[in-house]
A and B are shown apart, each in its own frame.
Chain A
Amino acid sequence: MTTVGQLVFSGLLIGGIYALMSIGLTLIFGVLRIVNFAHGEFLMVAMYGAWAMTRYLGLNPYYSIVAIVPAMFLFGIVVHRLIVMPALDKPHLVVVFATMGLSILMQNVALMALSADLQDVPPILGGRSFTFGPFYAKPELLIGFAVAVACTLGLRFMLQATYLGKAIRATVQDGEAAQLMGVPVPRIFLITFAAGSALVGLSACIMTPLFSVFPTVGLNFVLIAFVIVVLGGMGSIEGALLGGICIGIVQSLSSYYIAPAFGQMFFFMLFLLVMIFRPAGLLGRKGEATLGIND
């Protein structure tokens, strides 16, 4: 019983981390209807940023949020202007190849400039964990989970209650009508893409104390992020949280009870089952993949 409890608990917490790194991707997909294949490399760049601030300025990696999140917002603006925007009105494949090309470029530049060496920041509390009865959990994971939940709620509040959120939803529902009503649609796209990048920046600061940073670190996570986005319902913010948690727990339990080498196989099986029986994803609604973010 303790073992199952620990596995579920650990799966839940790591699932929160997975969700956090997927929210940016789902936001961008939900509004712009494009898949950013360089998502993993955005994460890598931001993790290097968080690592560098810890290593060279001696900051706690969590403090680097104040610099990394705005920096990634700006980075998102640049990428959107240079790569995404020119491709938006072209056939869908153009964006796919453009972002994929960006992904390869970023990986190789990082390999050249930073070498393949692993970089790490020291864990908080010296890597010790809190105990809750018989269960263990690292503070970094608890913080990550809390941030993931807060992010989901915050984003939902923003979409429902602020003018920007309403403009985003209007753009998603009918871009042309929104434009006629005075919503600056191109700017909404720009802001959303930048905000998606900023969210990747946030998750990078949360993940740096947990995972080593290296030029291809994005590859370890990007597949999980894609699965989560589709599983949760493409463009659904709460779906990403739920999807992340599901993947975390399924991976944890199946790796333990069957074999660690098959952990990924089982969450892909779950993914296939959901796709067969609920093609719109757990929290998505029919047609949402073409409709975009839900309101």
Chain B
Amino acid sequence: MPVALRLATLAVAAVALLGTAASGYAQEPIRIGVLQPMTGPATKNGTENFTAMQIAREMINERGGVNGRKVEFLLADIPTPTAAISETERLTTKDGVKITLGSGVSLLAVPVSQAAERHGVFHWETAGAADIITKRGFKYTFQVGPAAYRYGHAAVDLTLGELAKRLGKSPSDLRIALLWENRAFGKSVGDSIRAYAKEKNIALVYDEGYDQFLTDMTPIVQRLKDVKPDVLIAISFPNDAILFQRKAKELDFNVGAMVGVSAGYSNPDLRDSIGDMVNGIFVSDFAARVNPKALTPETLKIADEFFKRYDDKMKRPPAGHASSAFSATWALFTEVFPKAKAFEPAELREIALKLDLPEGSLANGSGIKFTNNDWPTDPKDAGQNLRASIGVWQWQKTGNNQVFPPKLATTEPVMVPLPNWSQR
């Protein structure tokens, strides 16, 4: 009996194996290498981005996949730039991946795209913003989120368009101060703001870089007190943003409006760190949740489903980078993949370059139109998405609400001018 039983089991197993093999051949999954910092300093960005990408994958697979093929992720953890290179190489050479998706933050996106390009892999970048990503003439790297310089432009547009009016001044009379941390991101955004302001004939009353590791903000705040700006635009990291705000309160430095750019001021934990002092601060950042009217009806449905699923998993609404991760991944699944046959990088590149999606086509309000080496404004750029949405949201008592540009805004800006420290 036991022998017969064993034989029967073997037979069943063999049939099952054959079955999976056969169906596997018919519907071989589309394998994508996902590179995210799941440990290390950028863990938070990495896990949030990956959650958003997973939601996109679940949604497409539940809908039957791409032309019947399921999507499969191979996740690689990239805590550091060195790991970013070695993991990208491992995925491409050992696992034979031809499509990569990533990569948490600019610092990691730069090496990931470098390694991917070297192996001729199609890289779809959702979060890396540094201008350099698309300035190296790469063929297969596509930066779906906004490039760094556009953060600066959004801050200036808000200042001249909305804040001037609310501060009762004409844009040319407005006293604008610019404070930037002097590393890669801060400097490139600072440069873009300076250039853009000059283009608009606006003179900055203060323009200064500082070291991120500065332990005392007194001299900076004191200098700002001397120039009495109406609007302060600051590009900071979390630690220095907190030190600055505390010192501003200590030395009673008051300003009509405060616009922060990304990392330091968009950090969701800022409210835990400095409490209600955060209210009223504007943040130029990836758009997280935009005005539903800015989206096409089909996109709105997809966006709502994403927000609901994200909230179920993470118990909080997505930050801008997570929204961007979802939007870009969803576009890859629904706009690029269905048109592909061989899923080879060269073919995917052709499809991507032909994409022409109007703004509002993706859940975060973006559209897609990539530059292709011959773009008139910057001939060296390749694969930068000119229709990536960027906007400004504001820390408000009710949460973080999109306030600019008017098309994407969900609420009006409040607390302009900012009340003096003694009144808040």
Contact = CB atoms under 8 A, between A and B. Distances in A.
A128 B252 CA distance: 9
A122 B223 CA distance: 26
B198 interface: no
Contacts of B43: 115-116
A126 to B, nearest CB: 8
Contact of A10 (B209, B218, B238): B218
Interface stretch (B121-129, B268-276, B324-332, B357-365): B268-276
Interface in B197-221: 208-211, 213-216, 218-220
B246 A123 contact: yes
Nearest to A262: B211
Contact residues of B: prevailing secondary structure: helix
Interface stretch (B4-12, B34-42, B294-302, B395-403): B34-42
A3 B226 contact: yes
Nearest to B47: A115
B210 A138 contact: no
B215 A117 contact: no
Contact of A117 (B226, B252, B269): B269
Indicate the member of A138, A217, A260 with the most B CB atoms within 10 Å: A260
Given A6-B251, A10-B218, A248-B216, A260 B41 contact: no
A129 interface: yes
B218 A261 contact: no
Interface residues of B, number: 38
Nearest to A264: B211
Contacts of A116: 40-44
Complex A-B, nearest 6 residue pairs according to Cβ-Cβ distance, in ascending order: A255-B219, A256-B219, A116-B41, A10-B218, A260-B210, A120-B273
Given A10-B216, A116-B44, A252-B219, 10 more contacts: A6-B218, A11-B216, A118-B242, A118-B269, A119-B273, A128-B250, A128-B421, A129-B249, A136-B252, A261-B209
8 contacts: A115-B43, A120-B242, A211-B215, A221-B215, A253-B219, A255-B214, A259-B209, A260-B220
Interface of A: 3, 6-7, 10-11, 14, 111-112, 115-120, 122-123, 127-129, 136-138, 210-212, 214, 217, 219-221, 224, 248, 251-253, 255-256, 259-261, 263-264
Interface of B: 39-44, 182, 208-211, 213-216, 218-220, 222-223, 226, 238-239, 242-243, 246, 249-252, 267, 269, 272-275, 277, 421
